[in-house]
Amino acid sequence: MNLLRFAYDNLTRRPARTTLTMTAISLGIAAIVALTAIAWGFEASWQKANDARGTDLIVTRLASENTMPSPFIAEKVRPALVNLPHVRQVVGLLSEMLTVSYDAPPMFVFGWEFNSYLWEHLQLLEGRWPESRNEPVIVIGTLAAELLHKKTGDMIEIEGVEMPVVGIFQSSALVENGALILTLQLVQQITDKTGKVNVLNLQLDSSASDSDIANIKQQVRDTLPGYTAITSGELVSQNAVVRISKAMSNATILIASLVGALVVFNTMLMSISERTREIGLLLALGWHPRTVIKLIVSESAMLTFAGGIIGIILGVLLTRGLEHIELMRGKIDAVFSFPFLLGVLALSIVLGIFGGLYPAIKAARTRPSQALRQE
């Protein structure tokens, strides 16, 4: 008989209470896992899209923190960029979230400069690419095709303009698979943003080093007031939606941790209150108060450890389920890293230790003579 086995036996004595507490902990942990994985996935998905395109730097409005950076006139900025050292291409991009079908959720519509490097990473599965900058046609990602129930030759109406789908492509980035891509000029026309882009993508030559990139960033700051050149990672991490989702995930971690600790605290307090006589007995039998503390803390840590394991499984299942509901498809690509899940498990154990500490100390201070008299 060892302490952990004894702690385990004590938990199984009250199966209903143990199950309820474990359920509460697991729900909190599931919320932490799901929200954090979604927040990270959202960030990772956008970064993946930018990286897949081969963009080294993105020029956008300074402190642009909207869902997409706010649009600006490309030609005001482009001339200053094309002459910077190591810059191979400067390519405009305009992006909107639009409703393109009443029976499908809003979708990303990207306007990419015709014949630019942005198109190169996409794999055309069927049909063809647009053949000129003004050709009124659309190519759609595989997920968008599935969600819109469209195939090559079908028509799609965007902002009152009906255009045929001429190609279906696949991308390594989920966000692009769920998007519709037109030429930049077409999107500018359709959305009444003639000449405007959200960002200018800079592709640098292969000899550009980190210090060259830092130099370009500095030159953009110096020569283009109100604009900034940042990496795709910086753009994504500054994005308001990413920041909000991360803040929400942090808030969830905090709230779930507090609630979890309180639930454990309450459970263990009830447990030791019911077992006062037994704790008195253990002390009378020569248990050191430290051993009593170890017992109670072991019980609460076991409780939250089990809750943590169940919560992680629930969280992963919940997120995978969310990824497949119609409204969210193509927008979230949850990331579950092993260190993160391990961290969540560690958090659940820490919650158990903290939640159980006060009840444990209280139990250890029990006066055996009084406790043994208790009915």
Site residues for another protein per CB under 8 A: 1-3, 6, 9-10, 12-13, 277-278, 281-289, 291, 294-295, 367-369, 372
User: Quick one: 136 or 368, whose CB is closer to another protein?
Assistant: 368
Contact 183, 158 (CB under 8 A): no
Closest CA to 136 of 164, 95, 156, 96: 164
Contact 315, 33 (CB under 8 A): yes
User: Quick one: 12 or 211, whose CB is closer to another protein?
Assistant: 12
Q: What are the residues whose beta carbons fall under 8 Å from the beta carbon of 371, sequence distance 6 or more?
A: 276, 277, 279, 280, 281, 283
End-to-end CA distance of the chain: give it in Å, rounded.
27
Q: Retrieve residue 229's tokens.
A: 């050149």
User: Quick one: 320 or 373, whose CB is closer to another protein?
Assistant: 373
Closest CA to 357 of 296, 277, 290, 286: 296
> What length does the chain have?
375
User: Quick one: 8 or 66, whose CB is closer to another protein?
Assistant: 8
Q: Cβ 22 to another protein, closest distance in Å? A: 18
User: Quick one: 109 or 282, whose CB is closer to another protein?
Assistant: 282
User: Quick one: 66 or 369, whose CB is closer to another protein?
Assistant: 369
Q: What are the residues whose beta carbons fall under 8 Å from the beta carbon of 210, sequence distance 6 or more?
A: none
Q: Cβ 284 to another protein, closest distance in Å? A: 5
Q: Cβ 308 to another protein, closest distance in Å? A: 24
User: Quick one: 223 or 369, whose CB is closer to another protein?
Assistant: 369
Beta bridge partners of 205: none
Q: What element of type H or E holds 204?
A: strand 199-204
User: Quick one: 128 or 367, whose CB is closer to another protein?
Assistant: 367
Helices (H), the chain: 3-13, 15-53, 74-82, 142-148, 174-177, 184-190, 210-223, 232-238, 240-274, 276-284, 289-324, 338-364, 368-373
User: Quick one: 200 or 282, whose CB is closer to another protein?
Assistant: 282
Q: Retrieve residue 280's tokens.
A: 């008195």
Q: State how beta strands 123-127 and 72-73 pair.
A: unpaired
Q: Cβ 6 to another protein, closest distance in Å? A: 6
Burial of 56 (0-12, 13-18, 19+ CB in 10 A): buried
Q: Cβ 278 to another protein, closest distance in Å? A: 6
User: Quick one: 105 or 289, whose CB is closer to another protein?
Assistant: 289
- Look-up of token digits 């909000």: 244
Q: Cβ 368 to another protein, closest distance in Å? A: 4
Q: Cβ 1 to another protein, closest distance in Å? A: 4
Contact 230, 217 (CB under 8 A): yes
Task: Report d(CA 354, CA 264) in Å as an integer.
Answer: 9
Task: Please work out, in degrees rounded to the nearest 5, the angle formed at the alpha carbon of residue 83 by the alpha carbons of 79 and 85.
Answer: 145
Q: Cβ 348 to another protein, closest distance in Å? A: 24
Q: Cβ 265 to another protein, closest distance in Å? A: 23
Q: Cβ 356 to another protein, closest distance in Å? A: 16
